[in-house]
Amino acid sequence: MYDSLIIGGGPAGLTAAIYLARKKMKILLLSPDFGGQTAKAAGIENYPGFEKISGIELIDLMVKQIEDLTVENISEEAKSIEKIEDGFKVVTKAQSYQTKSIIICSGKTHRKLNVPGEDEFVGKGVSYCATCDGPLLKDKTVVIVGGGNSAMDAATEIEKYAQQVFVLSVLPELQCDAILKERFEKSPKGKIIYNAETQEIYGEGLVKGLKYKDQKSGQIIDLPCDGIFVEIGWTPSTDFVKDTIKINQLQEIEVDQNGATSVSGIFAAGDVTNTPFKQIVIAAGDGAKVALSAWKFLITQN
């Protein structure tokens, strides 16, 4: 039986692991990856202590810290949580783990377009990670679907490699920070298409283009391209707990100021919660806070 099982290996989960390992708690970190969204951030300029650092570099430093503290970790996804007599059972595809407390740091996952061809061409030109797949599109024509900060971050990243970058916004205005829009508009490689609703992705083995509806004219327009990045937002990863703890209309886990959820012994931190503002430093701070709340819960139980 673990003292605490941490679900999620992003900045919130890694920070919680550091705190509880230093308290000599018996913990397990369960996550299919390390880094979460932060691993996808090309250049981070707002994490204290670093003027500029890539997401992968920052996560590598956090992972080194948990390795030095010999935190036990398993590359698996939590599928459900069950209450048992003296704690909880966390169930994965392969097995289950018993624990006295749980810290949920499962963050957010990307939204899909849900148009024909999207699933078929994932990994064959359709991607959700510009940092990971941008370098594969050197001198190619690339479409970024979306109009928020994630889309413009992706556009800035892809521009380094591609010959031409289209940003396809379904709205008549971008929803991103003004500075990102200004930078992109100055680029000779960049073009923004507004009021464009993606209808279909097509290809032969690899992506060859997409079709979108011009919402003003109603016309279906063919846009040939070699790569498509879908950047239309993120949704909290709460499917596995939605029947166990209280979540709000945005699918976020509701927590109090200590990070406690509606079930005693289950805590949550970072982007998966209703805490306002989703940022790395906030997720890390939240991870520290809930680790201390879980520790306090554990010492008062024993």
- For residues 234 to 263, the per-residue mask of contacts with ligand FAD, x marking binding by CB under 6 A and - elsewhere, is ---x--x-----------------------
Q: State in angstroms the smallest separation of the CB of 34 from ligand FAD.
A: 7
* Smallest separation (angstroms) from ligand FAD to the CB of 125: 19
Interface with ligand FAD (CB under 6 A), residue from 278, 285, 288, 292:
278
Neighbour tally for 96: CB within 10 Å: 15
Cα dist from 236 to 47, 93, 110, 247, 300, whole Å: 22, 20, 9, 10, 31
**3-state DSSP of 167-221:** EECCCCCCCCCHHHHHHHHHCCCEEEECCEEEEEEEEECEEEEEEEEECCCCCEE
Stretch that binds ligand FAD, among 9-17, 65-73, 210-218, 251-259 (CB under 6 A): 9-17
Please name which of 7, 4, 8, 9 lies closest in space to residue 24, comparing C-alpha atoms.
4
Rounded Cα gap, residues 120 and 105, in angstroms: 30
Using the minimum distance from each CB to ligand FAD, give the nearer residue, 78 or 298. Answer: 78
Which is nearer to ligand FAD, 69 or 180 (by Cβ)?
A: 180
Q: Which residues of 241-258 are buried (b: 16+ CB within 10 A; e: fewer)?
A: beebbebeeeebbebeee
Residues 38-57 that bind ligand FAD (CB under 6 A): 38, 40-41, 44, 46
Total number of residues that touch ligand FAD (CB under 6 A): 36
C-alpha dist (Å) from residue 270 to 5, 110, 121, 185:
16, 16, 31, 33
Please identify which residue in 1, 22, 32, 222 interacts with ligand FAD, judged by CB under 6 A: 32
Closer CB to ligand FAD, 36 or 134, in the complex: 36
Minimum separation from the CB atom of position 184 to ligand FAD (A): 15
Residues that bind ligand FAD (CB under 6 A): 7-13, 30-33, 36-38, 40-41, 44, 46, 77-78, 105-108, 150, 153, 237, 240, 270-272, 278-281, 283
